[in-house]
C-alpha cells in the first residue's frame, strides 16, 4: 500500500534526510522491485541477479524517452526508443562508459495511471505475459536494473526493468564509480533514497494520457 515517495510533503523530506542507510534502500521503489524480482527468481530455483546501478539508470532513461505518454508503450501507437539511443543518449546521461554497454537480454515496461507497490507492479503489470516470464528466467541473465517514474509528480507511473547478460563488475560501469541521479524518478542499485532530492520544478508539464490505462510490454533485443 506504499504511496509514491514523490508524493511526500516537504516536511517528510526533511525527516527522511536523517533516515539510516538501511531505510534508504527500502525507500526506493525501484530497489523494492528488484528485491521482489530476485525473490521470485530464487523461488523458481534461478539465481538472484546483480542489481547494477548503471543499467538501472539506463532503465530510467528508457522510461524518459516515452515523455510520459503511456499510449506509446503498447497498442497501435506504440513506439520504441532506437537501440542507438543507448549509445548516443542514455549512457552519456547516466555517466555510463559506452565501451562497457553489454547485451540487454530483456526489457520489461509497464505503465499505470494509479500507483501500485513493487509487488503488484511485478505480478499485475510487468509479469502478466508468458513472454515476460520467459525473459525473466532466461538462463543468460546475470544482472538487472529497474527504474520507476511518475510524470508530473504523479500519474502515470512507468516501470522499466532491463535484464542483461553482462559481467556484473565490468558492464555498465559508471564514470568515477558514482551513479548520476537523473530526476525525476528512481532507479535501483545506487543506494539512493528516492524521495530525498526530488525536484518538483521539473514536473510542471502535462502529458495527455488515457485514464485507467494499463499497458505492459516485454521484448528482448541485442545491443
Ligand atoms: C526448486 O528445487 C527444489 C529442490 O530441488 C524442488 O523441490 C522444487 O520443486 C523446485 N522449485 C521449482 C519452482 O522448480
Ligand atoms: C513468480 O512470479 C510469477 C508472476 O507473478 C508468478 O506467476 C509465480 O507464481 C511466481 N513464482 C513463485 C515461486 O512465487
Ligand atoms: C502461458 O503459459 C501457461 C503455462 O505454461 C500456459 O498454460 C498458457 O497457455 C500460456 N499462455 C499463452 C497465451 O501462451
Ligand atoms: C544465451 O546466449 C547464447 C550465446 O550468446 C545464445 O546463443 C542463446 O540463444 C542465449 N539463450 C537465450 C535463452 O537467450
Ligand atoms: C570481477 O569479478 C570476478 C569474479 O567475481 C573477479 O574474479 C574479478 O577480479 C573482478 N574484476 C574486477 C575488475 O573487479
Contact 44 CB / ligand 1 (< 6 Å): yes
Please tell me if the CB atom of residue 127 comes closer than 6 angstroms to any atom of ligand 2.
Answer: yes
Query: What is the number of structural domains in the chain?
Result: 1
CATH assignment at residue 93 = 3.40.33.10
- In this structure, which ligand is nearest to the CA of 164? 4
Give the angle 150-156-159 at the CA atoms, nearest 5°.
Answer: 65
| pLDDT score at 73 | 81
Cα dist from 146 to 32, 56, 67, 158, whole Å: 9, 5, 17, 11
Which residue minimizes the CA distance to atom 5 of ligand 5? 169
Q: Longest C-alpha distance within the chain, in Å? A: 47
Q: Which residues of 5-36 are buried (b: 16+ CB within 10 A; e: fewer)?
A: bbebeeeebeebeeeeeeebbebbbbbbbbbb
Atom number, ligand 2, closest to the C-alpha of residue 43: 13
Residue 173, in any domain of the structure: yes
Return d(Cα 102, Cα 2) in angstroms, integer.
33
Task: Count other C-beta atoms under 10 Å from residue 89's C-beta.
Answer: 17
Question: For residue 218, what is the enclosing H or E element?
Answer: strand 214-219
Q: Is residue 115 assigned to a domain? A: yes
- Closest atom of ligand 4 relative to the 139 alpha carbon: 13
Q: Backbone phi, then psi, for 106, in 5-degree steps?
A: -170, 145
Indicate whether 14 belongs to any domain.
no
Quote the pTM value.
Answer: 0.79
Q: Is residue 117 part of a domain?
A: yes
Give the pLDDT score at 195. Answer: 56
Residue 198 lies in a domain: no
Query: In a 3-state reduction of DSSP, which class is residue 162?
Result: strand
Distance in angstroms (rounded) separating the CA atoms of residues 153 and 171: 32
Domain range for 29 is 22-193
Q: Which of 143, 167, 169 to mutate to test the pocket of ligand 5 (most atoms within 8 A of CB)?
A: 169
Residuewise pLDDT in 10s, the chain (223 residues): 343 333 332 223 333 333 333 444 457 899 999 999 999 999 999 999 999 999 999 999 999 888 888 878 877 777 888 889 999 999 999 999 999 999 999 999 998 888 888 999 999 999 988 889 999 999 999 999 999 988 666 778 899 999 999 999 899 999 988 887 777 789 999 987 775 333 333 433 333 333 334 455 655 444 3
Q: Which residues pair with 149 in a beta bridge?
A: 158
Residue corresponding to grid cell 523494492 = 32
Which atom of ligand 1 is found nearest the CA of 45? 1
Quote the ligand 5 centre to 107 CA distance (angstroms): 26
17 within domain boundaries: no
Ligand 1 close to Cβ of residue 134 (< 6 A): no
φ/ψ of 99, rounded to 5, equals -65, -15
Distance 141 CA to ligand 4 centre (A): 10
The minimum-distance atom of ligand 4 relative to the CA of 220 is 14
Residue 216 placed within a domain:
no
Atom of ligand 4 minimally distant from the CA of 138: 13
153: preceding bond cis by omega (within 30 degrees) = no
Instruction: Answer yes or no: is 113 within a domain.
Output: yes
Amino acid at each position: 500500500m506504499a504511496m509514491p515517495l514523490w508524493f511526500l510533503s516537504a516536511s517528510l523530506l526533511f525527516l527522511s534526510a536523517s533516515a539510516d542507510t538501511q531505510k534508504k534502500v527500502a525507500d526506493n521503489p525501484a530497489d523494492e522491485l528488484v528485491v521482489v524480482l530476485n525473490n521470485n527468481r530464487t523461488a523458481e530455483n534461478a539465481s538472484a541477479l546483480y542489481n547494477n546501478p548503471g543499467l538501472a539508470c539506463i532503465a530510467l532513461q528508457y522510461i524518459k524517452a516515452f515523455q510520459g505518454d503511456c499510449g506509446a508503450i503498447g497498442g497501435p501507437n506504440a513506439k520504441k526508443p532506437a537501440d542507438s539511443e543507448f549509445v548516443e543518449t542514455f549512457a552519456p546521461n547516466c555517466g555510463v562508459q559506452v565501451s562497457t554497454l553489454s547485451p540487454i537480454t530483456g526489457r520489461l515496461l509497464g505503465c499505470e495511471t494509479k500507483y501500485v507497490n513493487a509487488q503488484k507492479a511485478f505480478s499485475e503489470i510487468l509479469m502478466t505475459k508468458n513472454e515476460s516470464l520467459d525473459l525473466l528466467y532466461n538462463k543468460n541473465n546475470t544482472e538487472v536494473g529497474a527504474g520507476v517514474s511518475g510524470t508530473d509528480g504523479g500519474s502515470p507511473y512507468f516501470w522499466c526493468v532491463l535484464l542483461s547478460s553482462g559481467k556484473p563488475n565490468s558492464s555498465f560501469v559508471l564514470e568515477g564509480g558514482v551513479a548520476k541521479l537523473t530526476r525525476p524518478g528512481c532507479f535501483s542499485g545506487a543506494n539512493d533514497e528516492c524521495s530525498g532530492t526530488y525536484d518538483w520544478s521539473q514536473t510542471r508539464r502535462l502529458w495527455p494520457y488515457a485514464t485507467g490505462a494499463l499497458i505492459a510490454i516485454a521484448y528482448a533485443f541485442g545491443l
